[in-house]
A and B are shown apart, each in its own frame.
Chain A
């Protein structure tokens, strides 16, 4: 049940989008949303992010890199029979949203993501020439 998630990467210089599209993006971004819990791990070759997005199908998940911003947004689809009377509610919004500022050594063009059982896993490698190198300390 692991599915690859396409990632939209747009460089800052290609931000010549029509005003209407910009408006639509902004209104979608301002809709109330839950903050999904995340785990972020770093190893020598990059960063791995896990986010809990239960109920979000692949086609309702958006992962976007714009400049140094990584934005995750997903819409949960929970179908209950018509006329269901809620008696106890802990999750009261069908939308998750969270964004992060990437740091310079990460190579956002090589980002990959997959969604499995409601958990999004995003891998952002470091630029090859910036990967860990031990610095020899000169004595003298």
Chain B
């Protein structure tokens, strides 16, 4: 679907790509019907978007956080909860030239904070974070699982 750069005619909701809209509907529905969401709500559609995955040796967190100054990203780990916070500047400065018109304003601006609760077996000392092409990758190593052993009954 194509939309004019000026987008004065129709509200953006009406001209969005159909499949993307369908996706969003599905996400909204799953939010409504999710039987027991996390206590922190892990709201989808927030900034930055998060993908989380695990391997036997680490938890991998990928935050889609474009347009940040790497020095301003705060990554904190406290009692098994990892939080990402920072601020993204608006595209139009607060006191801008009145001749500048903002036709579309969909990108997130302002302060953000997102949290991920981690499994119990993580090693807080070995957390590594890198920011590249607007993607923040955090690797949290997990302690090596102890070998299963049988306990003798006395």
Contacts and interface: CB of A to CB of B under 8 A. Distances in A.
B interface, size bucket? 35 or more
Contacts of A136: none
Given A54-B135, A101-B4, A117-B134, A35 B20 contact: yes
A89 B53 CA distance: 8
Interface residues of A, number: 48
A35 B16 contact: yes
Interface stretch (B76-84, B99-107, B121-129, B145-153): B99-107
Interface string B96-116: 010111111111100000001
B143 interface: no
B62 to A, nearest CB: 6
A88 B42 CA distance: 9
A47 B6 CA distance: 9
16 contacts: A38-B106, A39-B104, A39-B105, A41-B92, A47-B5, A50-B67, A54-B66, A54-B133, A56-B133, A57-B133, A85-B54, A90-B64, A99-B3, A100-B2, A103-B4, A106-B5
Q: What are the 7 closest A-B residue pairs judged by CB atoms, nearest first?
A: A118-B134, A118-B66, A54-B134, A37-B106, A84-B53, A119-B67, A54-B64
Given A43-B99, A119-B67, 9 more contacts: A38-B107, A39-B91, A39-B106, A40-B103, A41-B92, A52-B134, A80-B53, A87-B52, A118-B135
